[in-house]
Every structure is written in structure tokens, then in C-alpha cells.
Amino acid sequence: MAKQYDVLFRLLLIGDSGVGKTCLLCRFTDNEFHSSHISTIGVDFKMKTIEVDGIKVRIQIWDWLSTAGTQRGQERYQTITKQYYRRAQGIFLVYDISSERSYQHIMKWVSDVDEYAPEGVQKILIGNKADEEQKRQVGREQGQQLAKEYGMDFYETSACTNLNIKESFTRLTELVLQAHRKELDGLRTRASNELVLAELEEDESKPEGPVNSSKSCWC
Ligand SMILES: Nc1nc2c(ncn2[C@@H]2O[C@H](COP(=O)(O)OP(=O)(O)OP(=O)(O)O)[C@@H](O)[C@H]2O)c(=O)[nH]1
């Protein structure tokens, strides 16, 4: 039987509640968009396989639980956060271009990444809801400037109009592949094997905490 993928790894979506993380995920994996907002109370992930540079990459993309995001500093938050960030290879830091507050909070999310994510994790800054031009509070240059400060790539996206969704997911995938070039070179010489980065298992159980299965695709 043909190999289904060469590499398996984990990406995370983080950012304030309501910035559109679940919608970005649903748009990328299922090409769906829903206008209602039901907060993700638990943690959920979706899988998608894409091909980059001739490599079949199966990505497991995790959607952050917003309830924990309001409880920084609490023990429960730290426990859940640690489990969530554990073994991530790539992270999307998402704000909403119509919310200055969500943009300001990116620095808090970056400090969480610094504290909890594995060293060498790849990051991309996303300014979502780019279709909401008349409600814009954060200029594109502000996004570019912040990304530059943190040494990240930057995309303005819209889960609603499908702007830059494939591009941003593909770019983060490329960055992760580049960061694991050595292991990948090994993979090419062992053509029949697949590379499972950081011991990630496809059927891995989700972290502790309340899991809201109804939010798997309710953007
Ligand atoms: N106009 C517009 N609305 C969007 C876009 N992405 C998400 N939304 C809307 O923003 C609201 C919140 O989207 P979610 O994807 O649920 O946000 P979230 O970041 O997952 O929120 P939590 O689960 O609370 O963390 C919903 O009403 C979406 O329809 C976008 O690109 N454009």
C-alpha cells in the first residue's frame, strides 16, 4: 500500500478568544466557514496532509482552549498550557485586525510560548479578519512591525474569504521542515520510513481539561 505520509507533526493556534482560531482551522482543513462564535471550551485538533517540496506532511493542528486563556497564573492554566505546548513544532499567534486589544495581547502569548514551548519551535504571526476593513483597528504595518520584532513571518488572513489560509499553513509547515532538515535528509535515505517528529502519535489522547467536542467546526 502507498505510504500515506512521510512526516507527522503538530501545529498550534493561540491567541485571544474570538480572533478566529477555530475558523482558520476549519477553513484550512474542511474549507468551511460559519459566522457564529461558540467559544472553544476544550481542546480540539484536526488533521490534514499536504505536500511540500515533494514531502507528504501530515499535520495535526490544535485549537487553543480560550477558557484557560483567561486564567493565567493559576495552577490549572499552567498544567493545561504545558500539555498543550508540549512537543509542538509550529505555532500560529493570532490576533484580529479589528481588535487592538487582541494585538496588544500577542506579547503575552509570546511570553507563554517562550515559557512553555519546546526550544526551536517555529512561529508565524497572523492578523485575521482582514475582510473587516471598515472595522480595522490594527494597521498592516503594525502587524509587520511586531512580526519583525519577534523574528516571525507575518500574514493577514481571512477565514471568511479564504485569504492567505493555505499560504500561511504551508509557510509554517515549510519552516518546520527546514528546522528539521537533518532528520528529513535521513528520511530521504530511508525512503520506506516515515518520520514522526517528537514522538507524536496520530491517535494521541488530548490534554486534560474540559473537552468541548461540539466546537470542532463551529467557526
Ligand atoms: N469577518 C470575519 N469573521 C471571522 C473570521 N474568522 C472568524 N470570524 C468570526 O469571529 C468569531 C470568532 O471565531 P472563532 O473561530 O470561534 O474564534 P476563536 O479564536 O476560536 O474563539 P475561542 O474559541 O473563543 O478562542 C466568529 O463569529 C467567526 O465567524 C474572519 O476571517 N472574518
Please report the pLDDT score of residue 210 as a whole number: 40
**Closest ligand 1 atom to 66 CA:** 25
Q: Whose CA is nearest to atom 8 of ligand 1?
A: 20
Is ligand 1 within 6 A of the CB of residue 158? yes
pLDDT tens for 52-66 read 988 899 999 998 765
Identify the segments of the chain with pLDDT beneath 50.
198-205, 207-219
Instruction: Give the closest residue (by CA) to ligand 1 atom 15.
Output: 20
> Which pLDDT score is estimated for 219?
43
Tell me the domains of the chain and their CATH numbers: 6-204 (3.40.50.300)
The pTM for the full model equals: 0.86
pLDDT of 148: 98
Q: How many CB atoms lie within 10 A of CB 27?
A: 24
Q: How far is the CA of 34 from the centre of ligand 1 (A)?
A: 8
Nearest residue by C-alpha to atom 10 in ligand 1: 20
CA of 37 to the centre of ligand 1 (A): 6
